[in-house]
Amino acid sequence: MIKYTLICDADHEFEVWFSKSSDFDDQAPKGLIACPYCGSTQVEKGIMAPNVSTSRKKEAAAIQRQKAMTMMNKAAEKIRKEIAENCDYVGKTFASEARAIHYGEKPERAIYGEATPKEAADLHDEGVGIAPLPNILSPKGKSKAN
């Protein structure tokens, strides 16, 4: 694997990983590499410095990853607690509950539960405000696994 810093014709800089160094040369002329900011396919390699991996760098990276994971786990726990304290779990009746709240048939309240992709798409098409809740943010004991 090789990582290149690329620059598009709008001067956006971004990084892309390739399996081998010739992949950029094969893909760029065909317009297969697009800027994630503006979508331009006019990209070229930027100035890069070699990234030599040392044991000290590996140790520092491992410490940074651990710190990041700890921060993310704390944030996820805070979100789970907020949801558990302020939202009602409605399980598989989520679509019908959300629809009833949207149309004023039931009192407005924050809910979460489970919906099939089709149910979620139908709710979205009807203008019912919903958002997916990743399992990691679902309060413990109340998830799709139960």
Determine the structural domain holding residue 97 and report its residue range: 71-137
Beta carbons within 8 Å of 145's beta carbon, 6+ residues apart: 135
Residues 130 and 75 in one domain: yes
Portion of the chain with pLDDT greater than 90, in percent: 73
Asked whether residue 15 is assigned to any structural domain, the reply reads yes
Condensed to tens digits (0 to 9), the pLDDT of residues 26-68 reads 999 999 999 999 999 999 998 876 666 678 888 888 899 999 9
Helices within 18-108 (DSSP H only): 22-27, 55-86, 94-102
Length of the chain: 146
Residues 129 and 88 in one domain: yes
Q: How far apart are CA 88 and CA 111, in angstroms?
A: 5
Residues 75 and 36 in one domain: no
pTM: 0.53
Residues 22 and 76 in one domain: no
Residues 37 and 78 in one domain: no
Residues 80 and 120 in one domain: yes
Helices within 28-54 (DSSP H only): none
**For the chain, what is the domain count?**
2
